[in-house]
Chains A and B, each alone.
Chain A
């Protein structure tokens, strides 16, 4: 078996684990949702996981390592990438900083080419590489001290990413006022944390969850919000415009934040933003700064498409094509503000931050 299995053709690797994490429900969704909640995670399907178990016996592979980390539900993709790179440093027998850098570069390129559709994966790799080059430029008394420092930093990153989420929740919950109605789309850990914090601060608000087809992530979010005692209403994805009149703000997460200040997120975000914009409702985005990517899509087709299977419940007639793309690009003019761990930003500041980080 290929030690580094390519993700299934037609399905983006990113969405394979998302399915696991977000407890996919199909068919009789309610019963299965409950079953999924009870079981924690549905049985593991991707072939990559098998390789990860036997990783110890084999020579180090950054991709196995990445897959290993990726299967932890609380860990973001970018964090998993950095963890994998840190493991790469640890197992490396490079003797100089330069050598280590070259090795790391190779590893991050391998990771990036393994799944070209994941934005936070490549953003995480870039971020860590940037850090390594900056650190190596510093004067270290000896190479091992530098190496240890890198490992330490990398391991702290998971913590930092959790802290970033908390920061965002703190900033974001200020925007939620008593009696407001919030429309959310898909399941985003950051968005959930914002709502959670707002609820724990005894704010009274109402949430509209879209269904989020095809993986129905909205169902999961609605369930978790309901357990917190927040009034939730579930909408089908096509009812967004119908419900927008009642909505006070739209709050979404992001897979990636691009240089123009726009976001790449689950399919349907763009149309929600368009509807909200035309009805003058604010659209807020909650995203950690490690999702900032040096990408600049000009239109929807200017992205590497991330594909995923779509269940229609009935057999598809022959000769009918299916749009399988899993995400869309929302241009910055439809976004109001971004809640990030760097602060509450307007879309145009994203580029500023990226320039300062990467140039």
Chain B
């Protein structure tokens, strides 16, 4: 019956847009002469779309935005303001303060596991269009010559947007560009001689369009700036030789001059003749400039890139605004320099002392922040619920200051809370989605609503979110998952996932006969918590460490795993070790079932565990409790050659996942983008 919509042309990309799609998605049809630009571009292009020829789009200046750079959750683009420390006591009731005190007092310092970054307040993040990280991923030759001219030919103000846009547009495949940590090191080491300021000044003087340069220099990546310098150097050289026109390089050199000069004033015409290295980027970027819709619209659909912690300049800035004092770890792991790495255990006492200075912070938010910091609350559902309840309380106690609008002021307030929470512990993806939901609700409040009505409506929204997206979603997941458990099954789970625990308990309650294998790993040993609870309920359990996974997998019939997030390419982002378990299960042909509420789905695509992750305290992996004799790593921080890496999450490729169980039913991993597409658009989902 034709109750379905008319059969669509399935292959039509306009209908089947999934993930990051730029409004004017039609890729510029480029001549194949663009192909020889760079190897990296070709690789990226072929990864992006196996069918289409390597188009110049990927080798645009946009590609100088690191391919691994992944747009952060949208909440990050909010307009948070750093909370300025003001020495006015908190107006909270003494009762609440007491209770908080008690909690804090009972906190055990040894429990500190997770560090906290002074992450940039969101406002600073938005203008970080380009990050230092981009240098690393480019082939040096490409970075120096190819991109520079394009960058210089932009009107300064719009260059940022173009960079971001193209980066996202090519996003699908861009991540696969070979990335070499070696270049990273070298690039980083060559720079420190010149300070950021000096270089900018240098550039400013070199630029002939002085007016535009001011904005330009802030908005280009280092790579671009460096490339620009070189271009200008080349241009000068070319200018000297201009009259004679002897050298073969001159042609391209003078073209560059023209480019750089024109660029500030008018958009130069596409310069395809410039030479193989120059033409493709500038030519296609031109097209971009023309084709794109006005900048305001674009800004909305491009998420700001996340803070990269290897950008010293930016980190300094962020530090000045931070509430929490943190000290950078000494031996930072080279490959993970873009992630915050701090000495753990120092923040809490400091933060405790500041309690009375943090005026704008609501006590309940403050409490939750401390609990994140101390690791008392962990697990993405628990963190999410705790945050929502804290916000709920904050909204209840909120009153609009005179001469301010509730919608604006409350959004700013929430943003400041969020940036405080980020300082305590980086946000999880689920929390990002939740914050986005809340802000959306605030923004959609009708103007006519009175303050008390607005507040109560927001509170009920929060309750509804917790109930529908987490509590009921879990129930649906449990109901689905139990249908996949047969009598005589041996179920394996890894670590501690709240929803997997509920599934196992429920299946036991309905009388299924099965055995559970709990696999655990150092340093968190969360599996012991699960083991304790399940054994108390009378389930038949086996406990082992991840080292024994290949042995134990023989007898297993199903693997149930939780997830911190599922990304739109089906990649499961979860507690570190999950990928290993899934891989072994796949090798043994054991089905892997991921249980994850749909509010944790995210449209981002991630290919590895490097570009976005969280680093734990390296000390906890160097020490083994109860083993005093294992003291070889006692003073590891003094050894410059030693870096300890304690990753918190990893990414499981979708190949190893048989099924994802969500509140929308049991789906193959390839259907995650469908859920994201269908339910985000209609606002049913978040």
Would you call B360 an interface residue if the criterion is a C-beta within 8 Å of the partner chain's C-beta atoms?
Answer: no
For residue A102, CB closer than 8 A to chain B, the reply is: no
CB-based nearest B residue for A359: B664
Is B113 an interface residue, CB under 8 A from the partner? no
Q: Report how many residues on chain B are interfacial, defined by Cβ distance under 8 Å.
A: 27
Q: Is A352 a contact partner of B671 (Cβ separation < 8 A)?
A: yes
A-side contacts of B558, CB under 8 Å: 298
Question: B1 and A348: CB pair below 8 A?
Answer: no
Please tell me which one of the listed residues B1, B5, B593 contacts residue A156 in the complex, with CB atoms under 8 A apart.
B1
Q: Which of B10, B486, B659 contacts A343 (CB 8 A)?
A: B10
Q: Are A357 and B668 in contact (CB under 8 A)?
A: no
Write out the residue numbers on chain A whose beta carbons fall within 8 Å of the beta carbon of B675. Answer: 355
Q: Is A53 interfacial (CB-CB < 8 Å)?
A: no
Q: Which of A298, A341, A352 contacts B591 (CB 8 A)?
A: A298
In the complex with contacts A153-B1, A154-B1, A299-B591, A341-B7 CB distance below 8 A: yes
Say whether A139 faces chain B, with CB atoms less than 8 Å apart.
Answer: no
Min CB–CB distance B403 → chain A (angstroms): 46
A355–B671 touching, CB < 8 Å: yes
Does B670 lie at the interface of the complex (its beta carbon under 8 Å from any beta carbon of A)?
Answer: yes
- Chain A 289-325 against B: per-residue CB contact (8 Å), 1 yes, 0 no? 1000010101101100000000000000000000000
Residue in A134, A341, A345, A351 whose CB lies within 8 Å of B674: A351
In whole Å, how far is B400's beta carbon from the nearest beta carbon of chain A?
39
- Is B10's CB under 8 angstroms from A351's CB? no
Check A344 for interface membership: any CB of B closer than 8 A.
yes
When distances are taken between beta carbons in the complex, the residues of chain B under 8 Å from A352 are 671, 674
* Interface SS majority for chain A: helix
Q: Are A296 and B659 in contact (CB under 8 A)?
A: yes
**Interfacial chain B residues near A344, Cβ < 8 Å:** 10
| A243, CB-defined interface residue at 8 Å | no
By the criterion CB–CB under 8 Å, are A134 and B3 in contact? Answer: yes
Is B241 part of the binding interface, using a Cβ–Cβ cutoff of 8 Å?
Answer: no
Contacts of B486 in A (CB 8 A): 301
Asked whether A302 and B670 contact (CB < 8 A) given A127-B1, A343-B9, A357-B4, the answer is: no
With A298-B484, A351-B674, A355-B678 in contact, is A259–B1 under 8 Å at CB? no
Asked if A294 and B10 sit within 8 Å, CB to CB, the answer is: no
Tell whether, in the assembled complex, residue B667 and residue A355 are in contact, meaning their CB atoms are under 8 Å apart.
Answer: yes
Q: Is there an interface contact between A131 and B664, defined as CB atoms closer than 8 Å?
A: no
B397 at the interface (CB under 8 A from A): no
Inter-subunit contact B659/A260 (CB<8 Å): yes
Q: Nearest Cβ distance between residue B665 and chain A, in whole angstroms? A: 7
Complex interface bits, A126-148 against B, C-beta within 8 A gives 1, otherwise 0: 01101100110000000000000
- Tell me the nearest residue of chain B to A349, going by C-beta: B10
- B658 part of interface (Cβ distance < 8 Å): yes
Contact call B1/A131, Cβ cutoff below 8 A: yes
Cα(A131)–Cα(B2), bound, Å: 9
Which residue from chain B places its CB closest to the CB of A130 in the assembled complex? Answer: B3
Tell me the residues in window 1-40 of chain B with beta carbons closer than 8 Å to chain A beta carbons.
1-5, 7-11
CA distance A82 to B3 in the complex (A): 14
Which residues of the partner chain B approach A201 to less than 8 Å between Cβ atoms? Answer: none
The answer to whether A342 and B3 touch across the interface, beta carbons within 8 angstroms, is: no
Question: What residues of chain B lie closer than 8 Å to A355, measured between beta carbons?
Answer: 664-665, 667, 671, 674-675, 678
* 8 Å CB interface, A323-359 against B: 332, 341-345, 348-349, 351-352, 355-357, 359
Give every chain B residue within 8 A of A82 (Cβ-Cβ). 1
Say how far A97's CB is from chain B's closest CB, in angstroms. Answer: 16
A134–B1 CA distance with the chains assembled, in angstroms: 12
CB distance from B568 to the nearest CB of A (A): 13
Contacts of A157 in B (CB 8 A): 1
In the assembled complex, A37 has its CB within 8 A of some CB on chain B? no
* Known A-B contacts A298-B659, A355-B664, A359-B678; A160 and B2 likewise in contact (beta carbons under 8 Å): yes
Q: Is the CB of A259 within 8 A of B484?
A: no
Closest to A296 in B: B666
> Using Cβ atoms and an 8 Å threshold, which residues of chain A touch B668?
259-261, 296, 332, 348, 351
B674 adjacent to A298 (CB under 8 Å):
no
Q: Is the CB of B665 within 8 A of A294?
A: yes
A153: nearest chain-B partner, CB-CB: B1
Beta-carbon contact of B7 and A342 below 8 Å: yes
A135–B8 Cα distance when bound, in Å, is 21
Interface of B is mostly: loop
Please give, as numbers and ranges, the residues of chain A lying within 8 Å of B671 by CB-CB distance: 348, 351-352, 355
A294 and B558 alpha carbons, distance in the complex (Å): 21
Q: Render B469-495 as a binary contact track against A, CB cut-off 8 A, 1 for contact.
A: 000000000000000101000000000
Q: Out of A153, A345, A351, name the residue touching B667 (CB < 8 Å).
A: A351
Given A259-B667, A359-B665: A302 and B3 interface contact (C-beta under 8 Å): no
Residues of A within 8 A of B11 (CB): 343
Within 8 A of B (CB), among A221-266: 259-261
A185 to B659 CA separation, bound complex (whole angstroms): 28
CB distance from B289 to the nearest CB of A (A): 35
Contacts of B1 in A (CB 8 A): 82, 127-128, 131, 153-154, 156-157, 160
Contacts of B593 in A (CB 8 A): 298
B658: which A residues are within 8 A, CB to CB? 298
- Tell me the nearest residue of chain A to B591, going by C-beta: A298
CA of A156 to CA of B3 in the docked complex: distance in angstroms? Answer: 12
**B residues within 8 A CB of A294?**
665
- In the assembled complex, the Cα of A355 lies from the Cα of B675 at a distance in Å of 8
Once the chains are docked, how many angstroms separate the CA of A330 from the CA of B528?
A: 39
CB-based nearest A residue for B679: A359
Smallest CB gap from A356: residue in B: B678
Cα-based distance from A289 to B593 in the complex (angstroms): 27
| Known contacts A260-B659, A296-B659, A296-B666: A131-B3 contact under CB 8 Å | yes
The answer to whether B667 and A343 have CB atoms under 8 Å apart is no
CA of A147 to CA of B668, assembled, Å: 37
Query: A302–B10 contact, CB under 8 A?
Result: no
Query: Which residues in B have their C-beta under 8 angstroms from that of A261?
Result: 668, 670
Give B661's nearest chain A residue, CB to CB: A296
Chain B residue nearest to A351 in the complex (CB):
B671
A260 proximity list for chain B (CB < 8 A): 659, 668
Kindly identify which residue among A153, A302, A351 contacts B484, using a CB–CB cutoff of 8 Å.
A302
B residues within 8 A CB of A342?
4, 7-8, 10
- Docked pose: A128 CA to B664 CA in angstroms: 20
What residues of B have a CB within 8 angstroms of the CB of A296 in the complex? 659, 666-668
CA distance A157 to B4 in the complex (A): 13
Smallest CB separation, B114 vs chain A (Å): 35
| Residue interface mask B651-686, A partner, CB < 8 A = 1 | 000000011000011111011001100100000000
CA separation between A332 and B671, bound complex, in Å?
Answer: 13
Shortest beta-carbon distance, B555 to chain A, in Å?
Answer: 16
Q: State A357–B674 Cα separation when bound (angstroms).
A: 12
Closest B residue to A161 by CB, please name it. B1
* B427 to A: closest C-beta gap in Å: 28
0 or 1 for each of B95-130: is its CB under 8 Å from A? (1 = yes)? 000000000000000000000000000000000000
Q: B664 touching A259 by the CB < 8 A rule?
A: no
Binary interface encoding of chain B residues 579-620 relative to chain A, with 1 for a CB under 8 A from any of its CBs, else 0: 000000000000101000000000000000000000000000
Minimum distance in angstroms from A190 CB to a CB of chain B: 16
Q: Which residue of A lies closest to B4 (CB)?
A: A357
Q: A154-B1, A299-B591 are in contact. Are A259 and B666 (CB under 8 A)?
A: yes
With a cutoff of 8 Å between Cβ atoms, the chain A residues found around residue B3 in the complex are 130-131, 134-135, 153
12 contacts between A and B (CB under 8 A): A82-B1, A127-B1, A135-B3, A160-B1, A259-B667, A259-B668, A296-B668, A342-B7, A343-B8, A345-B10, A351-B671, A355-B667
Assuming A294-B665, A343-B11, what are 17 further A-B pairs, CB within 8 angstroms? A82-B1, A130-B3, A131-B3, A160-B2, A167-B7, A259-B666, A259-B668, A289-B4, A298-B484, A298-B558, A298-B658, A299-B591, A332-B668, A342-B8, A344-B10, A355-B664, A355-B667
Interface residues of B, Cβ cutoff 8 Å to A = 1-5, 7-11, 484, 486, 558, 591, 593, 658-659, 664-668, 670-671, 674-675, 678
Q: Which are the 3 A-B pairs with shortest beta-carbon distances?
A: A348-B670, A351-B671, A343-B10
